[in-house]
Structure 1
Amino acid sequence: MLFTVLAFLVALGVLVTFHELGHYWVARRCGVRVERFSIGFGKVLYRRFDRNGTEWAVSALPLGGYVAMQNDPPAHATQAQINESFNNKPLRQRAAIVLAGPLANLILAVVIYAVVGLLGTQEPIAQIGPVPAGTPAAQAGFQAGDRLVSVDGKPVDSWLQARWALMDALSSGGELEVGVKDQLGREQNRYLTLPAGEILPDGQDLMAQAGLVLRPARSIVQEVFKESAAEQGGLKEGDVIVRLGDLAEPGITPFVQKVQQSAGQTLELDVLRAGELERLLVTPASDSQGLGRIGAQVTADMPMTLVRYGPIESVERGFTRTAQTFWFSLKMIGRMITGEVSVRNVSGPVTIADYAGQTARIGLIAYLNFLALISISIGLLNLLPVPMLDGGHLLYYAIEAVRGKPASERMMLLGQRLGLALLAVLMSIAFFNDITRLFS
């Protein structure tokens, strides 16, 4: 629990601080006086002043941060103080300062994805398992063992990349060209026609619904114990289990269950050894509980690939992945508004904190990918034209640009009330979804 909370607070601190740094940097470039830059809220625990008079503070509640600018000049202000006030800046500078926060989050996502590309990560190869009859994949001619190499003309190197490339079509439907390499090494294009799928946080995987599932990890013999049934049957270390009785390419769990249920029964075992197929006969011995044992340690063997790019390609992919995620998220928001996608997909702080803890436990790369995703979400959320958000201020500036003068005080007050109501509804939905997931 403590680890999850710490992972969440670190993520929140990094992302919000970077957002506020965007506002701060552009404000200083435009000559606006910044009175305080605070990491956290509430009682100030540490402060210092820089040569520009800005107070840099660390506060007690680590739930974000803020930048306090001089909006209006003080009484009896000098001309220099008047010039340093935010509200006295030209429209284009005020808009740039407001826009800088969300853009900073998007830039951070680009940087994170680029770093992940440079570091590289081990990911499962995009090889599919058995294709259920009647699914879109079966109708398109996909077969077990096919390796996905491209989606809509764009190459994919791993299962995770294939999932991401297919996600938009899986949710909205349509026809997609998928390049595959079959088990004989032949490259072919297959055309997958997908119905629109309903995205639910606890719903069935859309890839599985389409008939595309990751090929299960193969069972490989790690150790054979002396004078065991496995040794007597000719099983050797490094053998890959191709078939056990009526089970083709069984995973670890089906393999163990089959052996346990077959005490005293002779099983046919096909193994792959040094590129050659061998057929063996193994008779599991019965243990004290009547369960079958063959006396071998069997582990999972999932084919992996190292996904890593050079500096230039990593940066390019950082921009591409950020743009794709931003656009996909924006489409999902639009589909929620029209009712095509369930609002159950809205996540609140509890769910986000849980994901922070889970990804941090998995490792650095997973946590960095989580940070990039949430950074894009923060940037997108703040760009929505909702009063109280950065996008709401940009909406007011657009009105000012059209009218030639600022929006009326009455219009802004009405907008603030509407924005506050919308945010309250959104937060209520998010907390409700969090509580529902917590107790379901």
Structure 2
Amino acid sequence: MNLLIEVLAFAVAIGVLVVVHEYGHYSVARLCGVKVLRFSIGFGKPLLQWVSPKSGTEWTVAALPLGGYVKMLDERETGTTIPAEDLPHAFNRQHVAKRFAIVAAGPVANFLLAIVLFAAVFGTGVSEPAAIVATPAPNTPAAQAGFDGGETVVAVRNAQAGQSEPVRSWSDLRWKVLGAAFDHRRIILSAKDGRGTYDFPLDLRDVSEKDVDDDFMSRLGFEPGGGKLIVANVQPGSAAQQAGLVSGDRLRAIDGKPTDNATAFIAYIKAHAGQSITLQVERGGDAQQAGKIQQIHVVPLAQRDETTGQQVGRIGAELATQVPSIEVRYGPLESLQLGARRTWDLAAYSLRMFGRMVVGEASLKNLSGPVTIADYAGKSARLGPSAFLSFLALVSISLGVLNLLPIPVLDGGHLLYYLVEAVTGKAVSDRWQLVLQRAGLACIVALSAIALFNDLARLIHL
């Protein structure tokens, strides 16, 4: 059943994104007076075909739905004889500005789709973790800013000047901190607890771009808090089982320090290999002992960390965090503004990440292919409409950014040709275009191979 959901979700996602991208090309081409011969969804043998009596465009749904294309009237097509009356409507006869607009319209359509999808999510409401900060690890920027854990962040502003922006959820906080990290700014987080509202200065000027990834909030010491840290599973024969931990136990404190965050808890366990640790546990699984507070002593076993090669402590327990969530909903205009801002932020982040991979500052393991996309499509579809729409928006942005890269065979490569033509007054020669097309095709094949390898590696846990 899960496989069927993944296949259907992947087909819907690819279908929607391809149609929107190609319709961007198609619609602007028609506006510029270019004759469109074929609009194809997919490649290979046509499954469905029909011809529009108004425009003469052949609409096709092909057998291989991993892409699509718009074929325009063009004198450069080999073996094509164009009637004299149709020559003004050929793509190659258009001014360079029109050709630029037609090619750019595909990626732009993907960005517009992302804005609409994000606006729909923000407007209809989404359940997100509250912006409650868990107890930060020592010496992290969050701890140095003064956070003790349990504070709810309500606003953020620049340290120099500027109006405060409200923080409505953990996701909202993450994006505001991400933007400040990219800009290397000092910001002030306003947060409240049971005693009042206080300002916490956070200096992000020294955060390098290679540190801005999926885990950057954790490295800053920020984790969702205010919830419950639960033992989800205990491995047989592990230190946790020998100490008496069972599934359903709520971990309340470790060596007398309150804990509500899995990352900080695991870090503490890793740092205390072979040392006795006292856990304050609230038993939840056993009906007779439910709600009872117990002190459990456990000694983490020293094991080799596969990443660092160092000996770290492990107790053999799987954890789950239950954090408070809130319903976040925005008005129509604010939803569109937030959708545009989120699209811009994600596009900029994608470009920077790709640039870091090119210069070797980020791992090529960040590239994903169709297997990973299908997996996430299925997972987001099972989580509900909001998650699936957000996933669609994210992939639409990635598709738009990818197509704008200045690689021949992609839209960005053609745009580069037109920029050269606009500056020099001469079109790039057919010979150079052929050479660059081959180089571009080699780049795309290499990127696809790396992405597919990464997919398979994730699948078999290499």
State the TM-score, normalizing by the size of structure 1: 0.79
Note the alpha carbon deviations across 1:56-85, whole angstroms, 9 max, x for none.
Answer: 122222222211111128866433211111
Q: What is the CA–CA distance in structure 1 between the aligned matches of 2:285 and 2:330, rounded to whole Å? A: 47
Q: What is the CA–CA distance in structure 1 between the aligned matches of 2:229 and 2:222, rounded to whole Å? A: 21
Shift of 1:261: 11
Q: What is the CA–CA distance in structure 2 between the aligned matches of 1:265 and 1:55, rounded to whole Å? A: 71
Shift of 1:197: 7.2
1:161 match? 172
SS in 1 for 2:97: helix
Q: 1:208 aligns with which of 212, 218, 230?
A: 218
1:122 match? 127
Q: 1:60 aligns with which of 55, 59, 63?
A: 63
Q: 2:18 aligns with which of 16, 25, 46?
A: 16
- Report if the CA contact (8 A) 1:172-1:196 is conserved: no
The one-letter amino acid paired with 2:59 is: W
1:93 match? 98
Q: Given the superposition, is the C-alpha separation of residues 256 and 364 from structure 1 closer, same or farther in structure 2, using an over 3 Å criterion?
A: farther
- Report if the CA contact (8 A) 2:225-2:260 is conserved: no
Q: 2:447 aligns with which of 416, 423, 426?
A: 426
Note the alpha carbon deviations across 1:337-371, whole angstroms, 9 max, x for none.
Answer: 22222221111111111111111111110110010
Q: Given the superposition, is the C-alpha separation of residues 256 and 61 from structure 1 closer, same or farther in structure 2, using an over 3 Å criterion?
A: farther
SS in 1 for 2:361: coil
Shift of 1:315: 1.1
Q: Given the superposition, is the C-alpha separation of residues 257 and 251 from structure 1 closer, same or farther in structure 2, using an over 3 Å criterion?
A: farther
Q: 1:44 aligns with which of 25, 43, 46?
A: 46
- Report if the CA contact (8 A) 2:181-2:212 is conserved: no
- Report if the CA contact (8 A) 1:19-1:105 is conserved: yes
**Pairing of 1:229-268 with structure 2 (within 5 A):** 248=258, 258-259=282-283
SS in 1 for 2:208: coil
Note the alpha carbon deviations across 1:283-328, whole angstroms, 9 max, x for none.
Answer: 9xxxxxxxxxxxxxxx997432221111111111111111111112
Q: What is the CA–CA distance in structure 2 between the aligned matches of 1:131 and 1:207, rounded to whole Å? A: 11
Q: What is the CA–CA distance in structure 1 between the aligned matches of 2:285 and 2:122, rounded to whole Å? A: 46
Q: 1:333 aligns with which of 350, 354, 371?
A: 354
**Pairing of 1:294-309 with structure 2 (within 5 A):** 302-309=323-330
- Share of identical aligned residues, percent? 44
Q: What is the CA–CA distance in structure 2 between the aligned matches of 1:331 and 1:319, rounded to whole Å? A: 18
- Report if the CA contact (8 A) 2:136-2:148 is conserved: yes
Q: 2:112 aligns with which of 103, 107, 114?
A: 107
1:414 match? 435
2:247 match? none
SS in 1 for 2:47: strand
The one-letter amino acid paired with 1:107 is: L
Q: What is the CA–CA distance in structure 2 between the aligned matches of 1:159 and 1:173, rounded to whole Å? A: 21
2:199 match? 188
Q: What is the CA–CA distance in structure 2 between the aligned matches of 1:373 and 1:266, rounded to whole Å? A: 43
The one-letter amino acid paired with 1:165 is: K
Q: What is the CA–CA distance in structure 2 between the aligned matches of 1:359 and 1:312, rounded to whole Å? A: 26
The one-letter amino acid paired with 2:219 is: Q
Q: What is the CA–CA distance in structure 2 between the aligned matches of 1:401 and 1:109, rounded to whole Å? A: 30
Matched, 1:150 2:158: no
Bigger drift between 12-21 and 84-93 goes to: 84-93
- Report if the CA contact (8 A) 2:127-2:328 is conserved: yes
Shift of 1:332: 1.4
Matched, 1:318 2:345: no
- Report if the CA contact (8 A) 1:39-1:64 is conserved: yes
2:458 match? 437
Q: What is the CA–CA distance in structure 2 between the aligned matches of 1:401 and 1:197, rounded to whole Å? A: 34
Note the alpha carbon deviations across 1:227-283, whole angstroms, 9 max, x for none.
Answer: xxxxxxxxxxxxx998899684779999996538999999975xxxxxxxxxxxx99
SS in 2 for 1:352: helix
SS in 2 for 1:44: strand
Q: What is the CA–CA distance in structure 1 between the aligned matches of 2:337 and 2:189, rounded to whole Å? A: 23
Aligned length: 392
Q: What is the CA–CA distance in structure 1 between the aligned matches of 2:153 and 2:61, rounded to whole Å? A: 49
1:177 match? 188
Q: What is the CA–CA distance in structure 2 between the aligned matches of 1:82 and 1:421, rounded to whole Å? A: 34
Q: What is the CA–CA distance in structure 2 between the aligned matches of 1:327 and 1:266, rounded to whole Å? A: 49
- Report if the CA contact (8 A) 1:106-1:376 is conserved: yes
1:286 match? none
Q: What is the CA–CA distance in structure 1 between the aligned matches of 2:135 and 2:289, rounded to whole Å? A: 28
The one-letter amino acid paired with 1:144 is: G
1:228 match? none
Q: What is the CA–CA distance in structure 2 between the aligned matches of 1:346 and 1:388, rounded to whole Å? A: 19
Q: What is the CA–CA distance in structure 1 between the aligned matches of 2:254 and 2:364, rounded to whole Å? A: 45
1:227 match? none
Q: Given the superposition, is the C-alpha separation of residues 44 and 144 from structure 1 closer, same or farther in structure 2, using an over 3 Å criterion?
A: same
1:389 match? 410
SS in 2 for 1:186: strand
- Report if the CA contact (8 A) 1:245-1:268 is conserved: no
- Report if the CA contact (8 A) 2:38-2:59 is conserved: yes
Q: What is the CA–CA distance in structure 2 between the aligned matches of 1:22 and 1:113, rounded to whole Å? A: 19
Q: Given the superposition, is the C-alpha separation of residues 30 and 145 from structure 1 closer, same or farther in structure 2, using an over 3 Å criterion?
A: same
SS in 2 for 1:38: strand
- Report if the CA contact (8 A) 1:148-1:178 is conserved: yes
The one-letter amino acid paired with 1:157 is: R
Matched, 1:141 2:151: no
RMSD: 3.5
Q: Given the superposition, is the C-alpha separation of residues 57 and 250 from structure 1 closer, same or farther in structure 2, using an over 3 Å criterion?
A: closer
- Report if the CA contact (8 A) 2:41-2:65 is conserved: yes
Q: What is the CA–CA distance in structure 2 between the aligned matches of 1:343 and 1:169, rounded to whole Å? A: 25
Q: What is the CA–CA distance in structure 2 between the aligned matches of 1:263 and 1:27, rounded to whole Å? A: 69
For structure 2, the 5+ residue unaligned runs are 158-163, 231-249, 266-277, 296-319
- Report if the CA contact (8 A) 2:251-2:280 is conserved: no
Q: Given the superposition, is the C-alpha separation of residues 394 and 115 from structure 1 closer, same or farther in structure 2, using an over 3 Å criterion?
A: same
